[in-house]
């Protein structure tokens, strides 16, 4: 048999992310890209623009992705995995289409995609698959050979994603004043989405109240809370709450919001809260503004001690998890039956999003799934 590298049949990894502005002049065009055709109220856009201007018009997300790229390349090199890693975004440079064009021109034919979104949802999964289909369509128009593009399974429950969150929660607990620590409540936070999108998230079998989106977050929250109890001997009460809501007020989104939750906990006499942003892969603007600025101000107003746990970011354990997921998927594609690590109760997610997974309101072509129009 001819020599096959451990990553065969894949010949490149693509880090696919959201993108963010890199200076004040980028903010408005970036927000136009994000909200094109999505009916976000103007008032909300002005508000979100202000969040970016408070930080010099720079989103932390791009530096977070540069750090993740470096961590992945270092981990791959240290483990003899000779797989080039590229980076493209949905909403800002480097744009996905430009990156995929560069990859096609470099001769890549089997591309595996890692998105910076760990859970099932339209925004975190199918929308990225639509972006891949759009990019492939653009390359086809240019007469370029199209690489086959796959997407890694959802990694929300992979130990390399969950264990850094356990340590980050322990570290955030340790930052609370000692007299309130044992009574601290854990508020696991994620991005709110419309309840209609939550209810249809995941595979058709997952559809129902909150769908896979809520079920996956609850599973991770429980795993982290259990691990914290095992470590500290303290049974901290916890709840899954939401942040960063947008959209029109009459459309229902997942609740409660973190700020309302802080008020409620304070009203119940809870002495301290640790905010654990399990929904986010890195400390980007949702974390820096909505938690560290807005929710922190609410807590200060209430006189409630709060700390915020770090996100996984470029943790070497996460980079190692990505390597394991790449090797696992490569083995699956070769027809082998690799071990598929997962913590919690849900088990490993599917490799290939089935038809009807996280549907869009207006159906559009999506690559890297069972309903992909591309091979």
Ligand X SMILES: CC1=C(CCC(=O)O)c2cc3nc(cc4[nH]c(cc5[nH]c(cc1n2)c(C)c5CCC(=O)O)c(CCC(=O)O)c4C)C(CCC(=O)O)=C3C
Q: How many helices (H) and strands (E) does the chain have?
A: 13, 8
Q: Which stretch binds ligand X (CB under 6 A): 33-41, 80-88, 297-305, 355-363?
A: 33-41
Residues 131/97, Cβ–Cβ less than 8 Å: no
- Residue 272 or 312: the one with the smaller Cβ distance to ligand X is 312
- Residue 92 or 173: the one with the smaller Cβ distance to ligand X is 92
What's the angle, vertex CA 201, arms to CA 18 and CA 43, rounded to 5? 50
Retrieve residue 164's tokens: 């850094």
Q: Which stretch binds ligand X (CB under 6 A): 1-9, 53-61, 175-183, 233-241?
A: 53-61
Should residue 60 be labelled a site residue for ligand X when binding is judged by CB under 6 A? yes
User: Taking CB positions, which residue lies at the least distance from ligand X?
Assistant: 246
Question: How buried is residue 96: exposed, middle or buried, by Cβ count under 10 Å (0-12/13-18/19+)?
Answer: buried
Q: Which stretch binds ligand X (CB under 6 A): 105-113, 181-189, 241-249, 357-365?
A: 241-249
Residue 112 beta carbon to Fe ion: minimum distance, rounded to whole angstroms: 16
Count of residues making up the chain: 375
Q: Which stretch binds ligand X (CB under 6 A): 101-109, 115-123, 136-144, 169-177?
A: 115-123
- Is 108 annotated for ligand binding? no
Retrieve residue 119's tokens: 């859970």
Should residue 305 be labelled a site residue for ligand X when binding is judged by CB under 6 A? no
Residue-wise DSSP of 16-77: EE----BSGGGHHHHHHHHHTTS---HHHHHHHHHHHHHTTTB-THHHHHHHHHHHHHHHHH
- Is 59 annotated for ligand binding? yes
Residue 214 beta carbon to ligand X: minimum distance, rounded to whole angstroms: 12
Contact with ligand X (CB under 6 A) among 11, 16, 26, 59 = 59
Residues 154/321, Cβ–Cβ less than 8 Å: no
CA dist 261 → 76, 293, 304 (Å): 41, 16, 12
- Residue 62 or 117: the one with the smaller Cβ distance to Fe ion is 117
Whether omega for the bond prior to residue 230 falls within 30 degrees of 0, making it cis, is no
Residues 263/294, Cβ–Cβ less than 8 Å: no
Should residue 286 be labelled a site residue for ligand X when binding is judged by CB under 6 A? yes
Residue 284 interaction partner, one of Fe ion, ligand X, none, beta carbon < 5-8 Å per kind: ligand X
Should residue 125 be labelled a site residue for Fe ion when binding is judged by CB under 5 A? yes
Contact with Fe ion (CB under 5 A) among 71, 132, 299, 357 = 357
- Is 294 annotated for ligand binding? no
Should residue 193 be labelled a site residue for ligand X when binding is judged by CB under 6 A? yes
- Non-local (6+) Cβ contacts of 245 within 8 A are 192, 253, 257
Pick out residues in 126-155 that bind ligand X (CB under 6 A): none
Angle between helices 159-174 and 316-333 (to 10 degrees): 160
Residue 48 interaction partner, one of Fe ion, ligand X, none, beta carbon < 5-8 Å per kind: ligand X
Residue 124 beta carbon to Fe ion: minimum distance, rounded to whole angstroms: 8
Should residue 367 be labelled a site residue for Fe ion when binding is judged by CB under 5 A? no
Give the binding site for Fe ion (CB under 5 A).
120, 125, 353, 357-358
Give the binding site for ligand X (CB under 6 A).
18, 20, 31, 34-35, 38, 40, 44, 48, 59-61, 116-117, 121, 123-124, 191, 193, 244, 246-247, 279, 284-286
């Amino acid at each position: 048999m001819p020599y096959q590298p451990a990553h065969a049949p894949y010949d490149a990894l693509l880090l696919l992310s959201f993108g963010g502005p890199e200076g004040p002049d980028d903010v408005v065009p970036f927000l136009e890209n994000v909200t094109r055709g999505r009916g976000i109220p103007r008032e909300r856009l002005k508000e979100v623009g202000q969040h970016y201007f408070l930080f010099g018009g720079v989103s932390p997300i791009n530096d977070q992705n540069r750090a993740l790229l470096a961590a992945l390349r270092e981990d791959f090199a240290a483990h003899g995995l000779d797989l080039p890693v590229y980076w493209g975004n949905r909403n800002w440079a480097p744009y996905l289409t430009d990156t995929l064009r560069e990859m096609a021109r470099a001769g890549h034919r089997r591309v595996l995609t890692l998105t910076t979104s760990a859970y099932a949802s339209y925004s975190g999964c199918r929308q990225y698959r639509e972006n891949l289909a759009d990019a492939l369509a653009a390359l086809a128009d240019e007469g370029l050979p199209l690489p086959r593009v796959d997407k890694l399974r959802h990694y929300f429950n992979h130990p390399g994603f969950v264990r850094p969150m356990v340590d980050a929660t322990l570290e955030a607990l340790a930052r609370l004043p000692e007299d309130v620590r044992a009574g601290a409540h854990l508020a696991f936070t994620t991005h709110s989405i419309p309840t209609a999108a939550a209810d249809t998230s995941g595979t058709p079998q997952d559809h129902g109240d909150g769908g896979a989106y809520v079920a996956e977050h609850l599973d991770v929250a429980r795993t982290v809370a259990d691990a914290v109890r095992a470590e500290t001997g303290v049974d901290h009460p916890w709840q899954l709450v939401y942040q960063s809501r947008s959209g029109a007020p009459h459309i229902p989104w997942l609740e409660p919001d973190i700020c309302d939750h802080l008020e409620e906990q304070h009203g119940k006499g809870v002495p301290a809260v640790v905010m654990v942003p399990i929904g986010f892969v890195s400390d980007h603007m949702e974390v820096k503004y909505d938690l560290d600025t807005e929710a922190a101000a609410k807590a200060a107003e209430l006189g409630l001690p709060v700390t915020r746990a770090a996100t996984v970011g470029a943790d070497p354990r996460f980079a190692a998890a990505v390597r394991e997921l790449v090797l696992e998927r490569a083995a699956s594609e070769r027809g082998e039956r690799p071990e598929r690590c997962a913590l919690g109760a849900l088990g490993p997610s599917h490799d290939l999003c089935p038809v009807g997974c996280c549907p869009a309101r207006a159906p559009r072509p999506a690559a890297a799934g069972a309903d992909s129009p591309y091979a």
